Amino acid sequence: MSDTFRALVIEDQDGKQKAGFKTLSVADLPDEDVLVDVSYSTLNYKDGLAVLGKGIARRLPMVGGIDLAGTVAESKSPDFKPGDKVIVNGYGLSELYWGGYSQKQKLKPEWLIKLPDAFTMQDAMAIGTAGYTSMLCVLALEKAGVTPDKGDILVTGAAGGVGSVAIALLAKLGYRVIASSGRAETADYLKKLGAAEVISREETMGSGRPFDKERYAGAVDCVGSKILAAVLAQIKYGGAVAACGLAGGNDLPTSVLPFILRGVSLLGVDSVMAPREKRIEAWSRLATDLDKSLFADMTRVEPMTNLPSLAADIINGQIKGRVVIDVNA
Ligand code: NDP
């Protein structure tokens, strides 16, 4: 195999971050202990921001891609040996450390998780950070006591990556799922994933008052801002919302009423720095609780060369489900 390989590199151009494809060699990679031959990465909302130069990279030059799946080629760590199949999600890839949009990458061993037996590398990237975040949201709701018998669960930003996987997981676990989507044309897709009902963003807003009629036992929110405020106002007594996203904005124009009058909990979910035990728990639950037969509907595989246009699509809310990036195509 040739010593050189391709990567998507974000660099400074006249004071702005600009992404482009470059040819690198192993000597260009960071000085980390495990060299991985990357097979697949993914496209998450944050990847879209990074590829469009919207300030995700905090060091330049930066190789984008917050997820990767590949095979260990060389390792100075006793925990990994050549041939091991591994995945990485988050840990500051594409922000502080070089990420998965590269045919090879050097990584810290403590970031690597062995590929669960239940998944191929492509499956693991069909899940990616988005899907593993969905599982973290489900785990947070379970820990808050939101069980299927408590009532309906709302998923906002439903047709996106986190939303799609959250619907599939919750439905398989026996929850009655209401999907909130701004794209009416995705209704059949969302029902196939397991949504019992699909509602518009307008309907999700309810009355718009800070304290509304009790409607949902819990929610997974990918959107933030006014939608999250409206969701909080409609959570039943003692319910909870797992908040992981900001696709609609990072503000939260709400009041304390749902918290102090209904005992509602707002559960923050972070995937990037989640501790290793939590990641392993999430991936082992994904192995049992995600119906793999849905991957074909939920996922498409795209070559790395298409990243610039895919990045614009995800930021414009035009991606349905998950996109796997084949870095060698
Ligand atoms: P996607 O772009 O795939 O999904 C986001 C969805 O949100 C869209 O598909 C759309 O769904 C909806 N949406 C988009 N724009 C708006 C808007 N202006 N108002 C209301 N709804 C909107 O992204 P991901 O699923 O990858 O990520 C979802 C969110 O979760 C992002 O904000 C991302 O940054 C965050 N995230 C956070 C993580 C964490 O660790 N906390 C990890 C992973 C993601 P529809 O068309 O159905 O309405």
Q: Note the pLDDT of residue 69.
A: 98
Q: Which residue has the CA at smallest separation from atom 31 of ligand 1? A: 245
Reported residue count of the chain is 329
Strand partners, 6: 23
Instruction: Round to the nearest angstrom and report the end-to-end CA distance of the chain.
Output: 15
Which residue type occupies 85?
A: K
Give the pLDDT of the chain (329 residues) as one tens digit per residue: 568 999 999 999 999 999 999 999 999 999 999 999 999 999 999 999 999 999 999 999 999 999 999 999 999 999 999 999 999 999 999 999 999 999 999 999 999 999 999 999 999 999 999 999 999 999 999 999 999 999 999 999 999 999 999 999 999 999 999 999 999 999 999 999 999 999 999 999 999 888 999 999 999 999 999 999 999 999 999 999 999 999 999 999 999 999 999 999 999 999 999 999 999 999 999 999 999 999 888 999 999 999 999 999 999 999 999 999 999 99
For residue 180 the two structure tokens come to 């909130």
Read off φ and ψ for residue 219, nearest 5 degrees.
Answer: -155, 155
Place of tokens 């972070």: 270
- For ligand 1, say whether the CB of 183 is within 6 Å of any of its atoms: yes
Q: What's the CA-to-centroid distance between 6 and ligand 1, angstroms?
A: 29
**Any ligand 1 atom below 6 A from CB of 99:** no
User: Which protein residue's CA is at the shortest distance from atom 35 of ligand 1?
Assistant: 245
- Beta-bridge mates of residue 121: none
What's the CA-to-centroid distance between 273 and ligand 1, angstroms?
Answer: 19
Whether residue 130 has its Cβ less than 6 Å from ligand 1: yes
> Which residues on adjacent β-strands are paired with residue 73?
none
145: phi then psi, degrees, rounded to nearest 5: 85, 15
Among candidates 27, 92, 23, 89, which has minimal Cα distance to 57? 92
pTM, rounded to two decimals: 0.96
Which of 311, 322, 286, 288 is CA-nearest to residue 122?
322
Instruction: Tell whether ligand 1 has an atom less than 6 A from the beta carbon of residue 48.
Output: no
Q: Name the pairing type of β-strands 104-107 and 34-43.
A: antiparallel
Mapped onto helix, strand or coil, the DSSP state of residue 166 is helix
The response to whether residue 44 sits with its C-beta less than 6 Å from ligand 1 reads yes
> Which one, of 34, 5, 6, 9, lies nearest residue 20 by Cα?
9
Tokens matching residue 273? 């720095």
CA 6, 12, 14, 16 dihedral sign is positive
Tens of pLDDT, residue by residue over 141-197, are: 999 999 999 999 999 999 999 999 999 999 999 999 999 999 999 999 999 999 999
Category of 238 on φ-ψ map: left (φ > 0), alpha (ψ -120 to 50) or beta: left
Q: Is the peptide bond before 61 cis (omega within 30 degrees of 0)?
A: yes
Is the Cβ atom of 89 under 6 angstroms away from ligand 1? no
E-state strands within the chain: 4-13, 16-25, 34-43, 62-63, 67-75, 85-89, 104-107, 113-114, 153-156, 177-180, 197-199, 216-221, 235-243, 265-268, 299-303, 322-326
Domains observed in the chain: 4-115+294-326 (3.90.180.10), 129-268 (3.40.50.720)
Residue 134 has which token pair? Answer: 């969905």
